[in-house]
Amino acid sequence: MADDAAPKVGRRGFLKGAALGGIAAATPAIAAAQTPPPAGQSGTGATGPRAAAAAADRSQPRPAQPVSTSAEQTNRDEGATYTTCGGDYMTDVLRSLGIEYFAATPGNTFMGLHEAIVNYGMLTQPKLRSLTTMHEEASVAMCHGYAKIAGKPMACMFHTTVGTMHASMAVYNAYADRVPIFMMTGVALQEERRPGGVDWLHDATDGPALMRDFTKWDDTPASLTHFGESAVRAWKFAMTPPYGPTLLAVDTQMQEDEIPGGASKTPPIPKLPRIVPPSGEAGAVRELAGMLVKAQNPVIVADRCARTTEGLKLLVELAETLNAPVCDTTNRMNFPWRHPLSQSPRQGALLGQADVILGLEPGDPFGLANRKDREGNVRRFVKPDAKVVTISSVELYPKGNYQDLQRYPSNVDMAMEADAQATLPFLIEEVKRQMGAKNQFEARGQAHAKAHRDDLEAAKRNAVFGWDDSPISMPRMCQELYENIKGDDWSLVSDTNFQSRWPQKLWHADKHHQFIGGHGAAGIGYLTPASLGAALANQEHGRLSVSFIGDGDLMFGPGVLWTAAHERIPILYLVHNNRGYHMEIMQMQVIANRRNRGIDRLGIACGIDNPNINYSMMAKSMGMYSEGPIENPKDLGPAIKRAIAVVKKGEPALIDVVSQGR
Ligand SMILES: Cc1ncc(C[n+]2csc(CCOP(=O)(O)OP(=O)(O)O)c2C)c(N)n1
Ligand SMILES: [Mg+2]
Question: pLDDT tens-digit profile of 106-144?
Answer: 999 999 999 999 999 999 999 999 999 999 999 999 999
Rounded distance, CA 438 to CA 293, Å?
A: 12
SS3 492: strand
Question: pLDDT tens-digit profile of 225-253?
Answer: 999 999 999 999 999 999 999 999 999 99
Q: Under CATH, what is the fold of the domain 13-265? A: Rossmann fold (3.40.50)
Rounded distance, CA 229 to CA 544, Å?
A: 38
Instruction: Output the pLDDT for position 378.
Output: 86
- Ligand 1 atom at minimal distance to the Cα of residue 576: 21
Q: What is the DSSP letter of 555?
A: H
| In contact, 357 and 409? CB cutoff 8 Å | no
SS3 80: coil
- What is the 245 CA–ligand 1 centroid distance (Å)? 23
Residue 543 CA: distances (Å) to CA of 443, 570, 654:
38, 9, 17
Does pLDDT of 485 surpass 90? yes
Q: What is the mean pLDDT of residues 44-54?
A: 35
Which one of the ligands is nearest to 499 CA? 1
**198 burial level (CB within 10 Å; 0-12, 13-18, 19+):** exposed
Q: Among 270-274, 439-443, 575-579, 605-609, which is the least confidently predicted range?
A: 439-443
Q: If pLDDT is split at 50, 70 and 90, which confidence band does 152 have?
A: very high
Question: pLDDT tens-digit profile of 378-422?
Answer: 888 899 999 999 999 999 999 999 999 999 998 899 999 999 999
Interaxial angle between packed helices 527-539 and 136-150, expressed in degrees from 0 to 180 and rounded to the nearest 10? 50
Does pLDDT of 494 surpass 50? yes
- What is the 613 CA–ligand 2 centroid distance (Å)? 12
Which one of the ligands is nearest to 662 CA? 1
Helical segments of 155-223, H only: 162-176, 197-201
Q: If pLDDT is split at 50, 70 and 90, which confidence band does 18 have?
A: very low
- Residue having the nearest C-alpha atom to atom 16 of ligand 1: 552
Which one of the ligands is nearest to 584 CA? 1
- What is the 273 CA–ligand 2 centroid distance (Å)? 45
Instruction: Output the pLDDT for position 9.
Output: 28
Residue 514 CA: distances (Å) to CA of 128, 252, 330, 590:
26, 41, 12, 35
In single-letter form, the type of residue at position 476 comes to R
Instruction: Output the pLDDT for position 34.
Output: 63
- What is the 524 CA–ligand 2 centroid distance (Å)? 11
| In contact, 27 and 266? CB cutoff 8 Å | yes
SS3 413: coil
Instruction: Name every protein residue with a CB atom under 6 angstroms from any ligand 1 atom.
Output: 169, 498, 522-525, 550-553, 576, 578, 580-584
- What is the 639 CA–ligand 2 centroid distance (Å)? 21
| In contact, 16 and 123? CB cutoff 8 Å | yes
- Ligand 1 atom at minimal distance to the Cα of residue 524: 26
- What is the 184 CA–ligand 2 centroid distance (Å)? 33
Instruction: Output the pLDDT for position 31.
Output: 37
- Give the residue extent of every domain in the chain: 13-265, 282-448, 464-658
Rounded distance, CA 138 to CA 135, Å?
A: 5
Instruction: Output the pLDDT for position 84.
Output: 80
Q: Concatenate the DSSP letters of all residues of 624-650 into one string.
A: -EEEEEE-SHHHHHHHHHHHHHHHHTT
- Ligand 1 atom at minimal distance to the Cα of residue 550: 15
Question: Considering Cα of 272, then 274, then 278, then 282, what sign does the dihedral take?
Answer: negative
Instruction: Output the pLDDT for position 337.
Output: 98
Rounded distance, CA 634 to CA 472, Å?
A: 10
Residues counted in the chain: 662
**364 burial level (CB within 10 Å; 0-12, 13-18, 19+):** middle
Does pLDDT of 41 surpass 50? no
* Ligand 1 mutation target, pool 137, 495, 560, 581, most atoms within 8 A of CB: 581
SS3 591: helix
Q: How many Cβ atoms sit within 10 Å of the Cβ of residue 370?
A: 17
* Upper half-sphere CA count for residue 3 (Cβ side, 13 Å): 16
Asked whether this chain's domains 282-448 and 464-658 adopt the same fold, the reply is yes
Higher model confidence: residue 340 or residue 371?
Answer: 340
| In contact, 387 and 356? CB cutoff 8 Å | yes
- What is the 474 CA–ligand 2 centroid distance (Å)? 12
Q: What is the DSSP letter of 580?
A: B
Rounded distance, CA 313 to CA 512, Å?
A: 9
Instruction: Quote the mean pLDDT of the chain.
Output: 89
- What is the 190 CA–ligand 1 centroid distance (Å)? 42
Strand-pairing partners, residue 574, are 548, 655
Instruction: Write out the CATH class of domain 282-448.
Output: alpha beta
- Residue having the nearest C-alpha atom to atom 3 of ligand 1: 524
473-496 burial code (b ≥16 CB/10 A, e <16): bbbbbbbbbbebbeeeebbbbbbb
- Ligand 1 atom at minimal distance to the Cα of residue 608: 16
Q: Concatenate the DSSP letters of all residues of 450-488 into one string.
A: HHHHHHHHHHHHHHTTTTT-SSBPHHHHHHHHHHHHTTS
Q: How many Cβ atoms sit within 10 Å of the Cβ of residue 14?
A: 14
Rounded distance, CA 552 to CA 577, Å?
A: 8
Does pLDDT of 10 surpass 70? no
- Residue having the nearest C-alpha atom to atom 4 of ligand 1: 524
Nearest to 37 by CA among 6, 61, 73, 5: 61
Rounded distance, CA 169 to CA 105, Å?
A: 16
342: left (phi over 0), alpha (psi -120 to 50) or beta: beta
For domain 464-658, give the CATH number.
Answer: 3.40.50.970
Question: pLDDT tens-digit profile of 284-321?
Answer: 999 999 999 999 999 999 999 999 999 999 999 999 99
Instruction: Output the pLDDT for position 20.
Output: 32
Phi, psi at 457, each rounded to 5°: -65, -40
